[in-house]
């Protein structure tokens, strides 16, 4: 097995246990017909990726945290570097957040599961 860590599995759509099998069926977050479809078990190691009904409700809070962090960072950049455009910040950030929604959705689910699954023996 390849050496990996939790961040690798979160950012590259991989199983948090083995780091090899794909987490979501589609590799792209922007395949809008399949962006939310997950494997029930890791195709490589067989890890259960849906531990219990309602497990991913906690991912809603992670998604919210990602949105808030993104907005705060974008606001600080706007204030410090583009102050003359501060009036247009809200008009710019809303479409950007809508476009990033599938990516944040998938990132939050992978992050949430990575908190609860230990990597395989010998992995980081």
Token digits of residue 37: 């479809």
Per-residue confidence in pLDDT tens, the chain, 124 aa: 445 678 888 999 999 888 889 999 998 889 888 889 999 999 998 899 998 999 999 999 999 999 999 999 999 998 888 888 888 888 889 999 999 999 999 999 999 999 998 877 655 5
Burial 88-118 (b: 16+ CB within 10 A, else e): ebeeeeeeeeeeeebebbbbbbbbbbbeebe
pTM (predicted TM-score): 0.84
Within 8 A by CB and 6+ apart from 29, the residues are 35, 102, 103, 105, 106
Residue 29 near residue 105 (C-beta atoms within 8 A): yes
* Three-class SS state of 21: coil
Question: How far from the centroid of its chain's Cα atoms is residue 74's Cα?
Answer: 18
């Amino acid at each position: 097995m390849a050496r990996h860590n939790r961040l690798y599995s979160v950012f590259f759509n991989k199983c948090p246990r083995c780091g090899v099998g794909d987490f979501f069926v589609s590799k792209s977050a922007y395949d809008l017909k399949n962006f939310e479809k997950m494997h029930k078990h890791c195709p490589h190691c067989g890890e259960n990726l849906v531990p219990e009904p309602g497990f991913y409700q906690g991912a809603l809070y992670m998604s919210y945290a990602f949105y808030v962090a993104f907005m705060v960072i974008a606001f600080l950049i706007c204030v410090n570097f583009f102050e003359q455009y501060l009036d247009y910040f809200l008009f710019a950030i809303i479409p950007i957040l809508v476009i990033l929604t599938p990516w944040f959705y998938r990132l939050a689910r992978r992050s949430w599961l990575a908190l609860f699954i230990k990597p395989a023996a010998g992995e980081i």
